């Protein structure tokens, strides 16, 4: 079976957050694509459908000839997973990498209600600043392996409308190809626990939220390992 690995970056980041892992997967002989979500807000609201449509336009041609698309969604791309899987144009499975989880049925908020007040507090004129400015007291050395990686991520990041984070993502539910979870940081322990409750395979690579930059070879191996598990051959979750 030929798998296409589609690495989906967080809407607040960009392809740079996945490129080292993409290089590792490609070097190992796996077809891989890293769609760019840049510009999904250009046409105005609603923003969530525009994000999915932009990704789908890139996924469809890349998926030609693949038996399965393995979507690997990072961070804030998690709520879009089921919609992206439906738009992939091929049998799909999903691996959540330090990502929020979508509901198994019905709409999912783009941002958890508990975090939305923080974004409203840092927004100015209806615009949320670029992600690197969200936590001004954070130590970059705890997230980035070096200045080159930091510069690449910061170049990709863009301010986004607050209204985007206030939207919901509609969904028809998980894909038949199943799902798994790859945990990096402590902030996503709850999501990983929920994945276990849903019966999904879970793997842990303790590190920072951008562990894809710090240890791309390990992350690539974990992704292919999860993709090969029998658990990903079944339904995407349980109630």
**Alpha helices, DSSP H, located in 63-184:** 81-87, 116-122, 147-156, 162-165
Fold for the domain defined by 3-233: Rossmann fold (3.40.50)
pLDDT at 100: 96
Task: Outline where DSSP puts E strands in 110-217.
Answer: 127-128, 160-161, 168-169, 179-183, 202-204
Q: How far apart are CA 31 and CA 230, in angstroms?
A: 21
Q: How many other C-beta atoms are found inside a 10 Å radius of the C-beta of residue 10? A: 23
Q: Is the pLDDT of residue 96 over 60?
A: yes
The percent of residues in the chain predicted with pLDDT above 90, rounded, is: 78
The three-state (H, E, C) secondary structure of 89-101, written as one string: CCCEEEEEEEECC
This prediction has a pTM of: 0.94
Structure tokens at 173: 């539910």
Q: Is the pLDDT of residue 169 over 50?
A: yes
For residue 125, the number of C-alpha atoms closer than 13 Å in the C-beta half-sphere is: 3
Is the Cβ–Cβ distance between 83 and 169 less than 8 Å? yes
Structure tokens at 80: 């879009």
102-142 pLDDT, tens digit per residue, is: 999 899 999 999 999 999 999 999 999 999 999 988 888 88
Indicate the average pLDDT of the chain: 92
Q: Shortest CA distance to 96 belongs to which of 1, 4, 227?
A: 227
Choice between 163 and 235, residue whose per-residue pLDDT is larger: 163
């Amino acid at each position: 079976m030929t798998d296409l690995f589609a690495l989906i970056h967080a809407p607040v980041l960009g392809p740079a957050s996945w490129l080292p892992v993409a290089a590792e997967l490609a070097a190992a002989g796996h077809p891989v694509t890293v769609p760019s979500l840049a510009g999904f807000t250009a046409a105005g609201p609603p923003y969530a459908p525009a994000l999915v449509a932009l990704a789908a336009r890139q996924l469809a041609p890349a998926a030609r000839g693949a038996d399965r698309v393995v979507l690997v969604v990072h961070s804030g791309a998690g709520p879009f997973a089921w919609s992206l899987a439906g738009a992939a144009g091929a049998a799909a499975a999903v691996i959540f990498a330090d990502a929020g989880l979508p509901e198994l049925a019905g709409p999912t908020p783009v941002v958890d209600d508990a975090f939305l007040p923080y974004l409203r507090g840092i927004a100015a004129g209806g615009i949320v600043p670029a992600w690197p400015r969200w936590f001004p007291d954070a130590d970059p050395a705890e997230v980035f392996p070096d200045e080159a990686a930091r510069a690449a991520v910061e170049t990709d990041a863009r301010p986004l409308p607050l209204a985007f984070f206030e939207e919901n993502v509609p969904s028809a539910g998980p894909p038949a190809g199943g799902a798994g979870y790859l945990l990096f940081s402590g902030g996503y322990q709850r999501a990983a626990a929920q994945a276990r409750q849903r019966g999904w395979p879970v793997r842990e690579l303790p590190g920072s939220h951008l562990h894809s930059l710090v240890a791309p070879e390990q992350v690539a191996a974990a992704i292919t390992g999860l993709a090969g598990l029998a658990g990903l051959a079944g339904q995407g979750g349980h109630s």
